Amino acid sequence: MNRIALALIGVLLTLSAAATLTQGGQPPALATDITAADVQTVLADPKGGGDRQMRVVDMGKYNVSVGVLHRGKTNPGAPVGAINHTQVTEVYYIISGSGTLVTGGTVENVRPLPADGEIVKVAVGPSNNATFKQPAQSRKVSPGDIVIIPAGVYHGFSDVPDHVDYVSVRPDPDHVLPAGYVHPLLKK
């Protein structure tokens, strides 16, 4: 399963990433690599928080970013937190752990994330936090699963017995993420 996961990530990155910044809307001429060791290095960073952007690459007409995220154990019966990203779609690939991913539906207590915070500036662009009142979809996720979450759709995790780690590939057609960003632990 790990070889399949790495191959899938490699294909996604090969198709959508490049090592050099572009000028004048031209796509890059080279591919960008993010190794399994890179993913583990960033995921293991104790100062990293839950959402850790690894790279943002300028593809000419759009940016693409790749992050690795960690969600810890949830408390049964606790309200389920929700977040949406107004301009950036996410493709999740679950690499370890399991839980229930809820998406869409109705939310309450909507609060915009601070525009000057790292989540907005580096990871996902303008976003809102909320609490799910009634999700539209609920599905169990485990290693190997892939979920595409369109921009604007609220999403969150419940029923996480231990943790969920996942890679997020984020197409950015509006260039809201900082092209050329490289996680500090990956700078060589």
Least confident of 44-53, 67-76, 86-95, 155-164: 44-53
CB 38: neighbour CB atoms within 10 A?
18
The predicted model gives 156-160 an average pLDDT of 97
Of 2.60.120.10, 2.40.100.10, 3.90.320.10, 3.40.50.300, the CATH number of 2-186 is 2.60.120.10
> What does the DSSP assignment read for 133-156?
EE-SEEEEE-TT-EEEE-TT--EE
Q: Write down the H helix ranges in the chain.
A: 2-16, 36-43, 118
At residue 6, the pLDDT reads 52
Least confident of 11-25, 58-72, 77-91: 11-25
Residues 22-37 pLDDT 10s: 445 788 889 999 999 9
Closest CA to 25 of 56, 74, 55, 59: 59
> What residues contact residue 145 under an 8 Å CB cut-off, 6+ apart?
92, 93, 94
At residue 46, the pLDDT reads 81
pLDDT at position 135 over 90? yes
> What residues contact residue 124 under an 8 Å CB cut-off, 6+ apart?
51, 85, 88, 90, 170, 177
Residues 100-123 pLDDT 10s: 999 999 999 999 999 999 999 999
pLDDT at position 176 over 50? yes
Q: Which residue has the higher pLDDT, 77 or 147?
A: 147
The predicted model gives 53-57 an average pLDDT of 95
Domain range summary for the chain, segments of one domain joined by + = 2-186
pLDDT at position 171 over 60? yes
Token pair for 5 = 């996961």
Give me the chain's average pLDDT, please. Answer: 89
